[in-house]
Structure 1
Amino acid sequence: MKTKSTLSVMALLLAAACAKQPDQIAAIDIGPNAYRGFSCSQLAQADAKYDIALENLSAQQRDAATGDAFAVFLLGLPLASMSGQDRETQIAATKGHIQAIKLEQARKGCRVAS
């Protein structure tokens, strides 16, 4: 019985160490003043820049998550996360910037392209 619970704990720890899917990563709070001095045009440019960055990081993160899933299944180790391929921190920061930009655009009443 002890071996079974030890294996269960190890499996949970390994699963927790795996790279998350991009949609499971929450934005971090950038703060309300990060984009205060930006014009609507500058906010739109920053938003476009961060949208592209998020797309690229998300693709890398999906690859890392898939790699971790296979590696844990085959070897019992989240190799992508262990080798620095996990982009969770960068994705959280990028989402935070996008969120801060959207809030500032709304505060200023900027027109946002659909």
Structure 2
Amino acid sequence: MRKQLTTLGFVATLTACASSPEHIQPTYVADTAYASQSCSELGQSEVRETDMLTALSDKQHRAHKTDTWGVIALGVPLSELSGSDVSRTLALEKGKMDAIHRVEAEKSCPGAPAPKS
């Protein structure tokens, strides 16, 4: 019984860990936020969002890695204590990028990614 409780506690602690950046789903952002932009402006927005996504993904990856080691060593997900989990911000930025891509595709901008099915 004690072993089962310990295992259950360990699993519960692992689920409290910061998510890996690849597993964070985008938050929906309406296309209207970018609909008034020209293809050139959309390209500039995409560059800014790419930089932001890269920085946030790196930070989230570190939080995930720290949590994994924190749980193994101390039994505690450390990102909760340090505030380094940026999953909500990362999800929003992913949503912005999706909205930019949808608007670029609608406007047939050069280099626009193919719409997701």
Same fold (TM over 0.5): yes
Alignment partner of 1:26 is 2:28: no
Q: CA deviation at 1:83?
A: 1.5
Match of 1:98 in 2: 97
**Residue segments in structure 2 that go unaligned for 5+ positions in a row:** none
Aligned counterparts of 2:57 and 2:86: Cα–Cα separation in 1: 8
In structure 2, the residue corresponding to 1:7 is in which secondary structure?
helix
Aligned counterparts of 1:113 and 1:48: Cα–Cα separation in 2: 13
Aligned counterparts of 1:113 and 1:52: Cα–Cα separation in 2: 18
Match of 1:11 in 2: 10
TM-score (norm 2): 0.90
Match of 1:77 in 2: 76
Aligned counterparts of 1:102 and 1:22: Cα–Cα separation in 2: 20
Match of 2:50 in 1: 51
Q: CA deviation at 1:9?
A: 2.4
* 8 Å Cα contact 2:104/2:112 also seen in 1: no
Could you tell me the percent identity over the aligned residues? Answer: 33
Count of matched residue positions in the alignment of Structure 1 and Structure 2: 113
* 8 Å Cα contact 1:20/1:61 also seen in 2: yes
- 1:28-77 CA distances to partner (integer Å, 9 max, x unpaired)? 00123111111101100000000000001111111111111111000000
Between 1:65-74 and 1:9-18, the stretch displaced more is 9-18
Alignment partner of 1:87 is 2:75: no
* 8 Å Cα contact 1:64/1:81 also seen in 2: no
Aligned counterparts of 1:7 and 1:113: Cα–Cα separation in 2: 51
**Residue segments in structure 1 that go unaligned for 5+ positions in a row:** none
Q: Output the amino acid matched with 2:98.
A: Q
Between 1:27-36 and 1:41-50, the stretch displaced more is 27-36
